[in-house]
Amino acid sequence: MKVKPDIRAITRLVPPSGNLVQGQSELPIDPQLAAEAAAIIAASQNHYGGSEGVEALRKAVAEKIAKYNNIDVDVDARPYELMITNGGTGALIGIAQSFLRGNAALVFEPYYPYHRRILEDFGAKTETFELNPADLSFEKDALLARCKELKDRKEFPLTMIIVCSPANPSGKVMSQTELEAIAEVAKELDLLVVSDEVYEHYVTGENPHTPIASFPGMWERTITVNSFSKSWNISGWRLGYAYGPGDLISKVNAAANVIYVCPATPLQTALSKVLMADEGYYPRLRDTFDGKRRFTSEIFTDLGFKIYDSGSAFYLWARIPEQYNDAIAFNEMLMRDAGVGMTPGSAFADSDDWDAYVRICIAREDAVLEGAMEKLQRVLR
């Protein structure tokens, strides 16, 4: 396997004013959330909680799932159908530990690197299914054939498909037809599905965010993973959640109990107080990022980038200007001459088809984006 660009190493090489590299929101924390956390910590509510999470936050998350995903999760069910996790990463580690040792999971390429790294660090194998570089589409028959081939092998048989929609790195929002195809393959081959929905509130295009767990016959074989890191600008708090049928979630919770003991209790309690308090929070978030997407996309297009119309607005996925074919060298030039960095597409792929692509994180304050765009214009025009 070829050496991939190190996203964190690249981040350290570029100043904050030009950091379009690392996939985190650098917008400020919600003031009410900060005030609640400070008050709870000061009140000495800083002790162990259950590995499944604080009850108040679990109830608030169940309310959120019902409102935005049209799925009713029984917060009182035993075994648990919903748990708070140490970020989305904590959920993925629990899943790998519980279900994937000695087995394999399939990811769609370009893929989120931790979907590979976590699995392989926990004794599993990650297999890729490459999307069409022209439009990031796929054919159901090709997916079925690939999954069947992997399921039937003796070593590391395929037992799971990982779906990330909207996707990191491309922002791709899976269409209803694509999700139906994945669901049909999973049911035909008796595969589990992990649905990574961290970017659900950044959907701006014609394809709405649709949880695959809501499709007929999919609840019982799907674990949905989500996170508050992006949508609440609290990546350092390490809070996320997972939900699904109790027989699946109970195994993830058992692993989390050993690995993490519990998520941070005062931070959970603080978030429970604000999560569903403002009906306009998520619509405003979407509209804010749609504005960032429109502003940056227009400038990048003018500079010769070909922007993929992903249908979401946390990342831009783009082919670099035609006169360049190596995104690593191109990015090094931008960091040197403009003080602006992004992530080469080869960080998210095994094949060479993505070497001329970049992921651009626009989850930055407007002043940072405006300054970065000005620097890029001076270098590339």
CATH architecture of 7-23+280-380: Alpha-Beta Complex (3.90)
pLDDT for 275 equals 98
Model confidence at 342: pLDDT above 90: yes
How far apart CA 211 and CA 180 sit, in angstroms, is 11
Residue ranges, comma separated, of all CATH 3.90.1150.10 domains in the chain are: 7-23+280-380
For position 259, what pLDDT does the model report? 97
Percentage of the chain with pLDDT > 90? 99
- Judge whether residue 69 has pLDDT over 90: yes
Q: What is the pTM assigned to this prediction?
A: 0.98
pLDDT at 1 over 60: no
Residue-wise pLDDT tens digits, 17-42? 999 999 999 999 999 999 999 999 99
pLDDT at residue number 130:
98
pLDDT tops 80 at residue 154: yes
Query: Is the model's pLDDT at 356 over the cut of 60?
Result: yes
pLDDT at 3 over 90: no
Mean of the per-residue pLDDT values of the chain: 97
Is residue 346's pLDDT more than 80? yes
Which fold would CATH assign to domain 31-274?
Aspartate Aminotransferase; domain 2 (3.40.640)
